[in-house]
Amino acid sequence: MGPRTKALVAAGSGITVGLAGLALSTLPAGADADPELPAIGAEELVTSALAARAPAFSGEAELQNELGLPVVPGMGALDFDAVRVFHDGQESARVQVERQASELTFVKNADEAWAYDSQENTAKRFTWDAADAAEAKGQLEAEMADPSQAAAEIIERLRPTSDIFVDGTARVADRAAYELVLTPKPSEKTLLREITIAIDEETRVPLRFDVFANGRSEPVLSLGFVEFEVGAQDADLFEFTPPDGAEVETTSADDAPRAAHEAEGPGGMEEHATTVGDGWDTVVVAEAPAEAAPPETAARTGQDLEGILAQIGQPVSGEFGSGTHVQVAVGGAVLTEDGRIAAGAVPRQVLVDALLVDAPDQQ
């Protein structure tokens, strides 16, 4: 798997990247009576989920977000209303991300992939040759937030630093599922208490993802399927033709991750991001976007990223220099005066330490 997310984020959004960059993937739904399922051990469930291949299916996902992130126009992997996901059970997939005033469409098949932004009327076409096919497809699956791929990445990232157990069952999108729980080992400095993943009993596809912070009984982030239907999909879903007048750019496999990030909109920070630490203590350090919003938006609201953070953050200084620290439900972010952002689900001191590790004179 290539490094993510999607999709998946400026000061606040970087926190979700630090959580494992899953923003468009593992997916919230209502629950009826918990189903009775055969007992299964945590390791067996983890192994089967990592080995599972998504079947042909269609699904609709919704987001519940209580992270307390600042609203930064034009940015954020969590800036969407709903997601439609289609998979052919082989290597083709389609993800439609519905935002308030636009839609992002990602389509991948055996030969190419597309990312289309309806608001900008721009499309990026990704191609690869036989030698690059495996790597390119893996990167694009991650960028497109395929639920099974995204969940496998979360489990793989957090498994070495987690205690893992099965906590009963649940019914998600009218599907019977096991509840896999990951809690940080005592050595971890994260502000998170646990992450739960509902794994479909039949297909082993992840159906829901919940993030719990210390001191809170309800999830601060819940992303999950409200509809999930297994069955053959129309082949036309996995072909894409740009609308008339769309600006089209063709990109090779080597540039696919960069282009996919750019398709999320202006100011994306993941392109230049690095990570410090691992597991639950991961901190994402990146260059702050030059503009948090298009000029016309900033002019209308009178707010840019620096102005927004100044209202809700606190000054912080140290060997790294000075900046602004913003605390939210699951962690925080530091925006430095030299134009960097450090974000993660960790206390402020861990963010500051990460800025020293990633200092410009050490790169």
Domains of the chain: 24-255 (2.50.20.10), 270-362 (no CATH)
pTM score, whole prediction: 0.77
What's residue 308's pLDDT?
64
Question: What is the rounded distance in angstroms from the CA atom of residue 242 to the CA atom of residue 244?
Answer: 7
CB atoms within 10 A of CB 174: 14
What's residue 250's pLDDT?
87
DSSP code at position 75: -
CB atoms within 10 A of CB 222: 21
What's residue 328's pLDDT?
82
Number of H helices, E strands in the chain: 8, 18
Pick from 293, 312, 311, 276: nearest CA to 67: 312
Pick from 131, 35, 22, 119: nearest CA to 74: 119
pLDDT in tens, the chain (363 residues): 333 333 323 333 333 333 333 333 333 344 457 899 999 999 999 999 988 888 999 999 888 878 766 544 444 455 566 789 999 998 898 988 887 778 888 898 888 889 899 989 999 898 876 556 555 555 554 444 455 566 667 788 899 999 999 999 999 999 999 999 999 999 999 999 999 999 999 999 888 888 899 888 899 888 889 999 999 999 999 999 999 999 999 877 555 455 445 544 433 444 457 889 989 999 999 887 654 444 443 444 445 556 666 677 889 998 988 999 988 878 888 989 888 889 899 999 999 999 998 766 555
Question: What is the rounded distance in angstroms from the CA atom of residue 306 to the CA atom of residue 300?
Answer: 16
Question: What is the rounded distance in angstroms from the CA atom of residue 18 to the CA atom of residue 269?
Answer: 12
Chain centre to alpha carbon of residue 215: 24
Tokens of 232: 């053959």
What's residue 79's pLDDT?
57
What's residue 102's pLDDT?
82
What's residue 36's pLDDT?
94
Question: What is the rounded distance in angstroms from the CA atom of residue 145 to the CA atom of residue 26?
Answer: 8
Question: What is the rounded distance in angstroms from the CA atom of residue 135 to the CA atom of residue 1?
Answer: 8
